[in-house]
A and B are shown apart, each in its own frame.
Chain A
């Protein structure tokens, strides 16, 4: 790449620098006298040519540079225009196309740093000259750097087997690339497998999800590691190393036929996670009938053998001898090129809002519990029933429980208005009870959503605009006797109302996973103030993270509905496939470099580096010195600052380059 010139080969006296001042239409030229800046640049040391042009980033603009490099034998280029974030890659490529090493290019930002923030043309022009002067002084010392590439490992890790992880895994695997899908629970499916119907089309959640789950289970290119968690991650994009803990199931996956006899015979129970506490499951269990894989696990916390040393009923009845109480956790090492995080969300626990009475009154339930009540696979076989088995005659649905409230979560959870409407529809459909929706604003923004709102309105649901203050069982009139009374202001009437109902459904918020912090640390990504994983750019790059090769999809990046989750998962998969198809990763060239003659092997750099790039060891010299793994180094410079002997410098940010800029700026 970029010719074979080395620093030594270049005679310093023969610098021939080309300087190009961009007008950026009027963005720059309006405030900065670009012609004057170009004339000034022409007078600077070693500048062979200086020009101004309307749009340097346009093809003719780039051609100017390319032609000058060839015809005037330029060996350094400076463009003064916008932020390097915008067009540094463009101009570097232009240099490369003319066989100039891209690191011999330098950019001065006279738009964001100058014309956009100043009004006074005189002063702005002065400043632009200074910025150009500094860039010219720096580029004088720039070295050509070698750009290295390594092969990209085409295997992918997907973490989390909800709809996001399932979708991403299938899309990658369908193109015949290997995917490891790590799911923490005994089965994949995530929250979607708990839902009854899905808004706005009301298709049965299980009917649309289970075929995909089965496809994952049977896919020749997917290795499903269920009941497993990622322990450690090292490496970098294209070559990650991942250690996975496969938790002991106490059931041999190879021998188990999934017949279910063990669960039938097991005498011990615990609250069912799948039914959100509305039913019991056994100590040995598969969470639900269509679980993938269809292999049970023994929950040590409720198994009598583990608690008291006696029972082993499951073992006695298992015909294939699959029960194995001696099983231990296993560790598996994986090597992958890219990672997709799809760890989803936690449902908000409404018991902290004590005035809503969740956990106090039997018939105050969450939206997720309602899904289980309403699902044919749930504890009531799909009948909407009160705790005592009666059919409710009236139901209140409380919106924004834990959302849009600075005491809990300031953000809107985006799906609750719609699932609230879904609850209303199902209650009407199955019981014909009176239904009240207490909402603040109805947010029905997706395809078919407003239409669904209209449909539910037509079904006779009562909409009350107001945030509920309290749910109580203290009756003040006869009709309130034996009911739950929902108290709020109907803000459209401007009066306080008390609504007696049999059942209250809380539209709980979606919140970041309780272990999101730990997961973020493991994968070296960041979180937003609200706890969800931070995307690289909220508008232009919502699937990437600041860690190259680590992508995010679904609710781990913020609350969203299934359609949006699937879109994001597909986008993440496409990103991975693009990387696989390129097959190589370009490594950062401006990395840290140790001068081994100065290094005393103290190891401070090693302690400090977030990316584990420096390693102190005995290499060619008899004394220990630090060496930097260039593939891991991000060029952040932390080590260079800490190095006590000044042995470490960052390529492309050498002291002489920086000092030359400072000197140039100090000149007047």
Chain B
């Protein structure tokens, strides 16, 4: 029998860290039933919330680190409980108060981010190297647009193509843009969801300072995670910039006839809604419009799409945690795409790209389907 002796200090921290919403939970279990983890294993979200309500959270429990913050449960919750905030708060008690041990890979990532400003732990100086080939200038006072590539395309050679395609398009369209290179730090969205609030605060402050000093007013991002935090979280810390995601910006360029898509792509393409573009920010139509403007391309819809989209598994810090084979949402999703007859799975998020590339490789489906960012597809069509 478990004695009801709430771990009061921890609960106060959970509450303070934004988890107060759990008091409204009436334990219906809709969150568990909606959570994509239950397509592959068991994750009883409701139980964690109830434990938090009673102050009986087992901070050693691995379940604490499962949530990919995809937001499917939050969108449906009948009582409007901010489940992601609660997850974040509970992780915060582990990561910053030391109530238990943080999973190794996350601990290392957090250290990298804190010291080098990127999760890979690479040198700041080489952050802008990807742009050399693409002839991208450094952003200076008066430049119109800052392109913020996200750490993944900046440092990961496999994903670099997203940034390069984007730069190519911008050059072609004659957009006045630049990057801040070594002055950029990770946006901090995911490490915050992993419970490291203070690291997030310092990253955000550093970016806000760099943007402000350089006279940035408008930022273009490739990652929905950067989009989310720049747009919805930085303003509270004094960072007010106009933020656009490539999906929106490309559509604008196409509509304004600054881009002419002429080369045909005679393929069936399915689109994966990234959680942070779709559910978290309501952007569903723009990326689809962009894809539809590519001549020859046939856009098909996956069975669970838009509001119902299944996460790739990369949010909430999960991108840095190894997910067992057989439990990867991206594998399920890839199968759905193949079954629907897609030859290309289009993505609009570097995390999706990493996860799906990995699924194609490990499931050996390279012959049947390829993963492409929407920017790459547009770049290929001009």
What is the interface of chain A, defined by CB distance below 8 A to chain B?
354-355, 400, 404-407, 440-441, 465-470, 487-491, 494-496
Contacts and interface: CB of A to CB of B under 8 A. Distances in A.
A404 B78 contact: yes
A466 B33 contact: yes
A87 B32 CA distance: 55
B33 A469 contact: yes
Contacts of A469: 30, 32-34, 76
B21 to A, nearest CB: 12
Contact of A496 (B26, B27, B38, B79): B38
B33 A467 contact: yes
B46 A491 contact: yes
Contacts of B380: none
Interface string B19-53: 00000001111101110001000101011000000
Given A467-B33, A469-B34, A470-B33, 9 more contacts: A407-B76, A467-B28, A467-B78, A468-B33, A469-B33, A488-B29, A489-B29, A489-B33, A496-B38
A318 B278 CA distance: 61
Contacts of B78: 400, 404-407, 467
Contacts of A490: 29
Nearest to A408: B78
Contact of A489 (B26, B32, B79, B308): B32
Given A355-B308, A404-B78, A406-B80, A494 B30 contact: no
A490 B46 CA distance: 11
Interface residues of B, number: 18
A657 B247 CA distance: 67
A496 B33 CA distance: 6
A408 B109 CA distance: 41
B80 A491 contact: no
Contacts of A494: 44, 47
Contacts of A440: 26, 28
A496 B80 contact: no
Given A440-B28, A469-B33, A406 B79 contact: yes
B42 A491 contact: no
B79 A491 contact: no
Nearest to B81: A406
A487 B32 CA distance: 10
B50 to A, nearest CB: 9
Contact of A495 (B30, B42, B80): B42
Contacts of A496: 32-33, 38, 42, 44
Contact of B33 (A400, A405, A487): A487
A494 B49 CA distance: 13
Interface-central residue, B30, B34, B47, B80, by most chain A CB under 10 Å = B30
Given A355-B308, A406-B79, A467 B30 contact: yes
A180 B301 CA distance: 56
Nearest to B28: A467
Contacts of A495: 42, 44
A489 B308 CA distance: 18
Nearest to B27: A491
Nearest to B80: A406
Contacts of B79: 406
> Sorted from nearest, which 4 A-B pairs have the closest CB atoms?
A469-B33, A489-B29, A405-B78, A467-B28
Contacts of B28: 440, 466-467, 491
A491 B50 CA distance: 11
A489 B76 contact: no
Contacts of B30: 466-469, 488-489
A489 B80 contact: no
A96 B127 CA distance: 90
A467 B29 contact: yes
Nearest to A403: B78
B29 A466 contact: yes
A504 to B, nearest CB: 15
Contacts of B308: 354-355
Q: Which of A400, A404, A405, A441 has the most CB of B within 10 A?
A: A405
5 contacts: A404-B26, A404-B78, A466-B29, A469-B34, A490-B29
Contacts of A467: 28-30, 33, 78
A494 B27 CA distance: 11
A416 B78 CA distance: 17
A404 B79 CA distance: 8
B279 to A, nearest CB: 14
A234 to B, nearest CB: 43
Contacts of B46: 489, 491
Contacts of B29: 465-467, 488-491
Nearest to B47: A494
A469 B33 CA distance: 5
A487 B34 CA distance: 9
Contacts of B76: 407, 469
A467 B33 CA distance: 8
A488 B26 contact: no
Nearest to B303: A474
A489 B29 CA distance: 5
B52 to A, nearest CB: 15
Interface in B67-89: 76, 78-80
A406 B76 CA distance: 9
A442 to B, nearest CB: 13
Nearest to B44: A494
Contacts of A354: 308
A626 B76 CA distance: 57
Contacts of B80: 406
Contact of B44 (A400, A468, A489): A489
Contacts of A404: 26, 78
A440 B47 CA distance: 15
B284 to A, nearest CB: 14
A70 to B, nearest CB: 61
A354 B80 CA distance: 19
A468 B29 CA distance: 8
B47 to A, nearest CB: 6
A468 B78 CA distance: 12
A185 to B, nearest CB: 33
Nearest to B43: A496
B174 to A, nearest CB: 43
Contacts of B44: 489, 494-496
B358 to A, nearest CB: 24
Interface in B112-165: none
Nearest to B26: A440
B41 to A, nearest CB: 10
A626 B270 CA distance: 71
B285 to A, nearest CB: 18
B80 to A, nearest CB: 5
Contacts of A487: 33
Contacts of A491: 27-29, 32, 46
Contacts of A441: 26
Nearest to B33: A469
A496 B41 CA distance: 10
- Which of A466, A470, A489, A495 has the largest number of chain B CB atoms within 10 A? A489
A355 B76 CA distance: 10
A491 B44 CA distance: 9
A406 B78 CA distance: 5
A468 B30 CA distance: 6
With most chain A CB atoms within 10 A of its CB, the pick from B30, B33, B42 is: B33
A496 B32 CA distance: 7
Contacts of B33: 466-470, 487-489, 496
Contacts of A400: 78
A469 B78 CA distance: 11
A440 B77 CA distance: 13
Contacts of A407: 76, 78
Nearest to A441: B26
A451 to B, nearest CB: 26
A250 B133 CA distance: 80
Contacts of A466: 28-30, 33
A496 B29 CA distance: 9
A495 B45 CA distance: 10
B71 to A, nearest CB: 14
